[in-house]
Amino acid sequence: MTVLSRMPKAVLFDLDGTLIDSAPDIREALNETLAMEGVAPFDLQTVKHLVGGGVQVLIERAFRRRGLPLSPQDCERIAARFVATYEPRATKLTDLTPGAREAVDGVKALGAKTGVVTNKPEAATRAILAHYGLADPMDIVIGGDAGPKKKPAPDLLLLAAKQLGFDPAECLFVGDSENDVEAAKAAFMPVAALENGYTALASSDLGADILLSRVDDLLRHLPQKVSS
């Protein structure tokens, strides 16, 4: 059963909460960063709800949750400190999500291109993908610092499609949060969402075209042939 009438020419994946379960390392780096500002730490579940908008949004959300004011300058300074703390430890407690490798391999085996479109900065994204052997299979990697607006704006997805030479409608985006679904809809790109992602919303409220209990369930939804 699939809602896709033809095989996508490219399957683009979100990173945090979709290909990798990164919240444990993000939590450690965030709490260490916040401690230097005298801000109380967050538990894992809360961190999963703070992630997904990029680093500055992570810091903004953390301060808002604690009811603390945050100037744009402080946000920038703290975000930079978070990145410096996170990058060297980004694969300590992190792991691939169940089925992530199978999903990427399966898409490639069907002849489609694969890529990552994340709000996470590109350097950390590439290092993490390389650590798990997923850098080489990716035809494109777009990070949140690529230049255009981050998700939920459609810009990063449009950039990825353009660089691959495809119409957005010929691609499929696979994500885990409302940011992903919103970005894909605004890009007129079909979207699949994980049922247990980094979001406070119920998966049925995400508005995705396809819901996946594991990321490799995606393969069951793909018509098997890439049309030329």
Binders of Mg ion in range 35-54 (CB under 5 A): 52
Burial class of residue 119 in the structure, from the number of CB atoms within 10 Å of its CB (0-12 exposed, 13-18 middle, 19+ buried): buried
- Is there binding between residue 182 and Mg ion (CB under 5 A)? no
Q: If binding is defined by CB under 6 A, does position 8 make contact with ligand PGA?
A: no
Scan residues 41-60 and list those touching ligand PGA (CB under 6 A).
51-55, 58
Q: Does position 60 bind Mg ion by CB under 5 A? A: no
Please give the single-letter amino acid code of residue 63: F
Give the binding-site size for Mg ion (rule: CB under 5 A).
Answer: 6
Contacts (Cβ under 8 Å, ≥6 apart) of 228: none
| Binding status of residue 160 toward ligand PGA by CB under 6 A | no
Q: Parallel, antiparallel, or unpaired: how do β-strands 171-175 and 191-194 relate?
A: parallel
Q: Which does 56 bind (CB under 5 to 8 A by kind): ligand PGA, Mg ion, none?
A: none
What lies within 8 Å, CB to CB, of 14 at 6+ separation is 116, 117, 118, 151, 173, 174, 175, 176, 177, 180
Q: Contact between 15 and ligand PGA (CB under 6 A)?
A: yes
14 binds ligand PGA (CB under 6 A): yes
Catalytic residue ranges: 14
